[in-house]
Structure 1
Amino acid sequence: MSDKQRFSFKKKSKHKLHKDDITVIDTKVAKKAVVATGLGNAMEWFDFGIYSYLAVTIGKVFFSDLNDSAQLVYTFATFAVAFLVRPIGGMFFGMLGDKLGRKKILAITLVIMALSTLSIGLIPSYNSIGMAAPILLLVARLLQGFSTGGEYSGAMTFIAESTPDKKRGLMSSGLEVGTLIGYIAGSGIVTLLTFLLGPEKMLEWGWRIPFLIAAPIGLIGLYLRSNLDETPAFEAMEKAAEEEKKHVSMKNILVYHWRTLLIGMILVFFYNVVDYMLLSYMPSHLTAVLGYGETKGLLLILVIMFIMIPIVLLMGHFSDRIGAKKIILSALIGLVLLSIPAFMLIGSGSNWLVFFGLMILAVFLAAFQGTMPSLLPSLFFTDVRYGGLAITYNISASLFGGTTPLVLAWMIDITANRMIPAYYLIGASAIGIIVVAYFVKETAGRSLRGSAPAVEEKHEIAEVLEEPEEALWWKKEKDLLDEKREETIISDNKA
């Protein structure tokens, strides 16, 4: 028997489904995992909200020797630099997460996020320590970006691997509820403090309070995450690989999973374009481009985010019933058809029409937020899920998400065309339709790639065992992948 034949026989004997392979998930434990991971995501966007709303004040504190416009530029440049290190943090924590476990790494990223956010509130002003102040601010932002690179991808992985297959969509959507709650809390606290303290006290010391709040939030999150169990999918993988003690390298991910990485990057691309356009760029568009009142625009976005919370959960619920792929495709087609009408309403100047236009975009964004946290982790096999997802999400988010406000502002400036954001959405959505329709498999309600099914009740085990091929739907895909790896090893050995 040749090396290749022995390998093929070995692989075919590995994927038989037994009763003991099927994981019964305790729903209470799964909900606890959603809360613990969602809190970290909320902290990330809490920081995003307070930094955005305090941009003018931060500029005066850390860049007081510059004029007002230059202060704002340097403040946002310091904010944007965090996106440069996100992919590095994603690769670092992603590889560790696939090697050491999801739980440990998520605890580490949360601690770094909390400490770096807290440290911003403790840095003395430029007037006190000179250039050391903006340098320390930059270091804190780099640490935030580095930890964030491993946070969101790890949170998606943890929830997807800790929930029953038939409820993965609903429970994973809780992660994006954390996004909305964090942003609402951050911006809301800044607004409230500004109202209570006034501009002078906010500039003197009040701006520090929101950053200092990160400490107790971090402690609560660390306590919750420390009391979580490791995900069943990771534990099963570790048990199966106990004899080999072999972990996948970065090179392995790039060589054998490059197609999945590209598909994931395009999914994250159109998802982030819509996300950052509505939540980050739109307040500036309403004020600077359309002449809408600044306070009125910010309040509108806050109201929109409140309304989005139940819609996100509803989309997650429906994804478990009809499939995430159908919902995402419907939202992409909706954006192609309704982006121009939505921006015509937004540019009308009428409060109700502006609100209605924003809600059209918000519903489509909610469709992505309710489905992507369960779909993206399902693209990858268990042994590369954290690392592959970290690479996919952070590179795409850095290239296309964080740059969306900048690109839109620049294009409107050179063209003087207020409909540029609508055209940008249509282009991103058209690309998304092609990729989702032809290259993404429906995984809602099915086991994750590389894992046996996860059920909520014991009686479901018998139903799963009736169709073992459907339960291990990823088997052929895994065999082909393993054969490619083995052929490479045999070829290298002969060489």
Structure 2
Amino acid sequence: MTGAIGAAEEKPRGQSERLVILASSLGTVFEWYDFYLYGLLATIISAQFFSGVNETTGFIFALAAFAAGFAVRPFGALVFGRIGDLVGRKNTFLVTMGIMGLSTFVVGLLPSYSAIGVAAPVMLVLLRLLQGLALGGEYGGAATYVAEHAPPGKRGLFTSFIQTTATLGLFAALLVVIGTRTWLGEAVFADWGWRIPFLISVLLLAVSLWIRMQLEESPVFLAMKAEGKGSTAPLTEAFARWSNLRIVLIALFGAVAGQAVVWYAGQFYALFFLEKTLKVDGATANILIAIALALGTPAFVFFGWLSDRVGRKPIIMIGCALAALTYFPLFDALSKAANPALHAAQSAAPVTVVADPARCSFQFDPIGRNRFESSGCDVAKSWLAKAGVSYGNSAAPGSEARVVIGEESIAYTGDPAGFREELDGALTRAGYPARADKDAINKPLVVMILTILVLYVTMVYGPIAALLVELFPTRIRYTSMSLPYHIGNGWFGGFLPTTAFAMVAATGDIYYGLWYPVIIAALTVVIGLALLPETFRRSLDE
């Protein structure tokens, strides 16, 4: 491409760099706010919309509906990426913002399962799908738009502000949820107050749309169109030609997949782990996560700035490697700090289910109606999973199930209700708490651990937008960068909470779900070191 684009890249046309960054970032913060409200309220949404199934399956279904929005993000990337490469960046992300905002507002109006039955979760999932499609087109547009305004040598810094938006959106959602919870009280919030954060999003939508409408089109895109060098078939050029498809695949498996699982493990899985497994009350868990996010978020900009000097690749690879090496000890330390009574009980009185493997069902029920009472093994495992108790398994072919809790052994005698009551009493005697004691939580240590997890997120996520923008040519940049980003974050990352909790429910080991992000992050390090090119000195003219 000629020097016209290079000149456009060096100096924005008619608008300040601050306006470009502010308008793009603020709009993306709003979209993430909308998207993450659901994740923060997964436990309440499970009760409101999936109350027709057992509690464990209902929670997994709620997480699956959360993941549904991520599942369609690659399709949003294809649809809106193509439009963005054909007609422009600005108008495309105005459309995606409108879809996201209206879908979020309607979630706040949906009747619950108790009011209209199965139609409630169906409508909820449909709205989540619309949100996912919109987000699939939003991120690539914002990142491409900002990068194409950034002067050479500052793309990592400029796009790092876009990278803060996911965390800032989560942080904003946390503040609204915490404020509403505190104002109304837990009982009212769980009944109907949870709708308020969704409803007020319509105000944020209006402000964000107005600010973004002040923007002009990307100068790099305008110069390319003026020279007649735009793509007439961006999907074909991006994915049907091996030379570009190869880079898409390397970007996905050598960078984005690892970045995605580190991001969702460090922010969302950590929150769900605190609430669901460690039994920390929702308000306290939200506050602890919010503090960690506030402490860690500036590092997005730092690592974006650093990537302009040392490169994108080494920072992302180091972040993935650190996560893979330290997740197990960090989450173990988180358990000890957040619920010391549970951690002590697991050490002093480990739980083992002794049963005939042939009589044990897989504990995740895809239909959601199985009460797991056909055998003593099923009753024991479903009850322990519901209680958030980690347990081991011991095979005893031909024998009826029994549960060993420390020195105490409880045998199944054919009465599910009585067996559960005995298990509950034995767990209490062994020191297993029903809830985490607020006064016993080592809050400074919990915040420190959560902040470390957030810092890993900033390492892998801070430079990723600049890397993806620089990997692909202008004429197909929006399309090419959006697909690997949203497959990685929509599928590898978005399904992490659901997959991890299903792994925990199936095995009984509360840490077993961590194998998912650890393995993916490790594979990304191997593939990235071998195949991912360094891009920080590339010109966007290419």
**TM-score, normalised via structure 1 length:** 0.79
Query: Bigger CA drift: 309-318 or 97-106?
Result: 309-318
Matched residue, 2:381: none
Matched residue, 1:218: 205
Within 2, Cα distance between the matches of 1:202 and 1:226? 35
Going from structure 1 to structure 2, the CA distance change for 1:107 and 1:338 (only over 3 Å counts) comes to: same
Of 454, 479, 496, the residue aligned with 1:387 is 479
Within 2, Cα distance between the matches of 1:75 and 1:324? 36
Q: Is structure 2 residue 268 aligned with structure 1 residue 280?
A: yes
Could you tell me whether the CA contact under 8 Å between 1:23 and 1:232 is conserved in 2?
no
Q: Which amino acid aligns with 1:286?
A: L
Within 1, Cα distance between the matches of 2:105 and 2:181? 19
Could you tell me whether the CA contact under 8 Å between 2:85 and 2:479 is conserved in 1?
yes
Within 2, Cα distance between the matches of 1:328 and 1:127? 46
Could you tell me whether the CA contact under 8 Å between 2:10 and 2:150 is conserved in 1?
no
Alignment map for 1:115-126 (pairs within 5 Å)? 115-126=102-113
Show CA shifts across 1:205-247 (max 9, x none). Answer: 42222112211211111112211111122112112216xx751
How much does 1:336 deviate?
Answer: 4.2
Matched residue, 1:231: 218
Could you tell me whether the CA contact under 8 Å between 2:10 and 2:152 is conserved in 1?
no
Q: Which amino acid aligns with 1:165?
A: P
Alignment map for 1:289-438 (pairs within 5 Å)? 289-290=277-278, 292=280, 294-349=282-337, 351=442, 352-420=444-512, 423-438=515-530
Within 1, Cα distance between the matches of 2:248 and 2:236? 13
Show CA shifts across 1:113-168 (max 9, x none). Answer: 11111122233445555554444333322211111111112211111112112111
How much does 1:19 deviate?
Answer: 8.3
- The DSSP-based 3-state class of the residue aligned with 1:93 is helix
Q: Which amino acid aligns with 2:236?
A: K
- The DSSP-based 3-state class of the residue aligned with 1:166 is coil
Q: CA RMSD in A?
A: 2.8
Q: Is structure 2 residue 60 aligned with structure 1 residue 92?
A: no
Matched residue, 2:181: 194
- The DSSP-based 3-state class of the residue aligned with 2:16 is helix
- The DSSP-based 3-state class of the residue aligned with 1:165 is coil
Within 2, Cα distance between the matches of 1:78 and 1:190? 20
Q: Which amino acid aligns with 1:91?
A: L
Structure 2: gaps spanning 5 or more residues: 341-441
Could you tell me whether the CA contact under 8 Å between 1:166 and 1:446 is conserved in 2?
no
Query: Bigger CA drift: 438-447 or 302-311?
Result: 438-447
Going from structure 1 to structure 2, the CA distance change for 1:105 and 1:48 (only over 3 Å counts) comes to: closer
Matched residue, 1:482: none
Going from structure 1 to structure 2, the CA distance change for 1:155 and 1:420 (only over 3 Å counts) comes to: same
Q: Which amino acid aligns with 1:442?
A: E
Q: Percent identity?
A: 33
Going from structure 1 to structure 2, the CA distance change for 1:214 and 1:20 (only over 3 Å counts) comes to: closer
How much does 1:109 deviate?
Answer: 0.3
Within 2, Cα distance between the matches of 1:58 and 1:18? 49
How much does 1:169 deviate?
Answer: 0.9
**TM-score, normalised via structure 2 length:** 0.73
How much does 1:445 deviate?
Answer: 4.6
Query: Bigger CA drift: 105-114 or 287-296?
Result: 287-296
Within 2, Cα distance between the matches of 1:355 and 1:154? 34
Show CA shifts across 1:408-466 (max 9, x none). Answer: 22333444445445544443333222333232232225422xx1xxxxxxxxxxxxxxx
Could you tell me whether the CA contact under 8 Å between 2:94 and 2:209 is conserved in 1?
yes
Matched residue, 1:269: 257
Q: Which amino acid aligns with 2:151?
A: P
Could you tell me whether the CA contact under 8 Å between 1:31 and 1:171 is conserved in 2?
no
Q: Which amino acid aligns with 1:254?
A: F
Could you tell me whether the CA contact under 8 Å between 1:268 and 1:393 is conserved in 2?
yes
Alignment map for 1:24-63 (pairs within 5 Å)? 24-25=11-12, 29-63=16-50
Matched residue, 2:151: 164
How much does 1:41 deviate?
Answer: 2.5
Going from structure 1 to structure 2, the CA distance change for 1:153 and 1:338 (only over 3 Å counts) comes to: same
Going from structure 1 to structure 2, the CA distance change for 1:427 and 1:75 (only over 3 Å counts) comes to: closer
How much does 1:104 deviate?
Answer: 0.8
Q: Which amino acid aligns with 2:288?
A: L
Q: Is structure 2 residue 426 aligned with structure 1 residue 441?
A: no
Of 221, 227, 233, the residue aligned with 1:248 is 233
Q: Which amino acid aligns with 1:188?
A: L
- The DSSP-based 3-state class of the residue aligned with 2:232 is coil
Within 1, Cα distance between the matches of 2:246 and 2:107? 40
